[in-house]
Amino acid sequence: MLDVRSLRQQFPALQRNRDSIAPIFLDGPGGTQVPQRVIDAIVRYLTECNANHGGLFATSKDSDAVIASAHQAVADLIHAPSANEVVFGSNMTTLTLHLSRAIGRTLRTGDELLVTRLDHDANVTPWVLAARDAGATVRFVDIHPEDCTLDLDNFRALLSERTRLVAVGCASNAAGTLNDVRTIARLGHQVGAWVFLDAVHYAPHGPIDVQEWDCDFLVCSAYKFFGPHLGILWGRRALLEALPAYKLRPVPETIPDRWMTGTQNHEGLAGVVAAIEYLTELGGAVPSIQTNLRERNDRSCKLLAALIAIRTYERELANKLLEALADRPRYKVWGITDRNQLAWRVPTVAITCNRSPAELAQHLAARQIFVWNGNMYALGLTERLELERQGGFLRIGMVHYNTPEEIDRLIRALDELP
């Protein structure tokens, strides 16, 4: 079990009142709050070793050590075979556009790419643009509108020997749906396609294992798992070595330098290490995990334990919220509502009612309850559900620092809506 009250004490933002009211942060899908150690790590980097990469003097060497530790920390978080397969960038969108441009150079007329109507547009439009420039074709995998799950039968039907790449999200940033990424990767590889996974929304909610999932690329963002604004790309070493990288001269031969453009956000990388240290410490305080997964080092085992504990706790939060909303038919939940299927969603809940999503968000904001409204860049989903003209939906995004008492306060506020 998580000691959530103790964990909350590590997050300065959770201790600040606004207008004498304790705010409730249900905006996690747009970016989580950070523990104090992340703030301290960023300040310490800027104070003690702020220097560019590759110098022969002390602060540059110290800075390089921070960068190397960030690569290894992320490799442990996602269970990558090597820290040298981890690439950093400004954000997931930038990294995906960068990679898609390189992959686009390998595409030919007649090639096909599969994307989904469930995904954030950052995992759709980069591939549409790459296909357009190469004369290739993009095919869209449909969803089941009744519960916002991916239509795997449609996915199977669209796969063919022409499919070069499958791009899919691990979890919907809008409706919270979890996708069966192992099955998707297996089916994609059967036709010779590369598999690109967007784990941005999934990362704070459960363990990532690029080896177990058998994907070819995976992206996520540190600011969604309690770190600073920074993007992460993992790719199979052979692919990162073979693909044509867009890079200034001289082009480094080593991975990952040939994929990282310009000077990186070094202080942000220090913060990433601290965020992963927070999760590692959390994992060390919960019961150890018995697993038959491939061999892990000590930190990787603790990260696995942390994220399994987080997943278990968050399901309780999701169940509490969904039960309360089920008793209030005024609110329509878009996504999985069957309590027996909670293993296939994260605690991100999209709702609509007879008021606009913006009105709902404003009503809650006046009570210091922070949520997002709109389409959340999941344009394929809001268009498929015919919600785009209505302003999308209200997104309630819980993470492990949220509490049952906060859900009670949210429900009371929703009940106060005229």
Q: What is the pLDDT of residues 294-322, one digit of tens each?
A: 578 999 999 999 999 999 999 999 999 99
Q: Which fold has domain 4-33+312-415?
A: Aspartate Aminotransferase, domain 1 (3.90.1150)
Q: What is the mean pLDDT of residues 382-404?
A: 98
- Mean pLDDT (the chain) is 96
Strand partners, 159: none
Q: Please give the pLDDT value at position 239.
A: 97
Local structure of 89: helix, strand or coil: strand
Q: Which residue has the tokens 């089941």?
A: 144
Q: Please state which of the ranges 85-94, 124-133, 245-254 shows the lowest mean pLDDT.
A: 245-254
Closest listed residue to residue 176, CA positions, set 35, 383, 369, 317: 317
Residue 225, pLDDT > 70, answer: yes
Given a cut of 60, is residue 46 above it in pLDDT? yes
| 253-281 tens-digit pLDDT | 788 999 999 999 999 999 999 999 999 99
Q: Write the CATH number of the domain with boundaries 40-279.
A: 3.40.640.10
Average pLDDT on 225-229 reads 98
Q: Tokens at residue 373, please?
A: 């409204």
* pLDDT value for 286: 87
pLDDT > 80? residue 290:
no
- Which residue(s) pair with 369 in the sheet? 24
Sorting pLDDT into bands at 50, 70 and 90, what band is 117? very high
Structure confidence at residue 251 (pLDDT): 78
Q: Do domains 4-33+312-415 and 40-279 have the same CATH topology?
A: no
Per-residue pLDDT band for 9 (boundaries 50, 70, 90) equals very high
Q: Measured in whole angstroms, how far is the alpha carbon of residue 369 from the centre of its chain?
A: 22
Q: What is the pLDDT of residues 316-364, one digit of tens each?
A: 999 999 999 999 999 999 999 998 999 999 999 999 999 999 999 999 9
Phi-psi bin for 148: left (phi > 0), alpha (psi -120 to 50), beta?
Answer: left
Q: Would you place residue 33 in the very low, low, confident or very high pLDDT band (cuts 50, 70, 90)? A: very high
Are the C-beta atoms of residues 335 and 177 closer than 8 Å to each other?
yes
Q: How many angstroms separate the Cα of 263 from the Cα of each of 40, 63, 245, 283? A: 22, 12, 16, 33
Q: What is the pLDDT of residues 50-81, one digit of tens each?
A: 999 999 999 999 999 999 999 999 999 999 99
Return the domain boundaries, the chain. 4-33+312-415, 40-279
pLDDT value at residue 294: 57
Between β-strands 163-169 and 149-150, what pairing exists: parallel, antiparallel or unpaired? Answer: unpaired
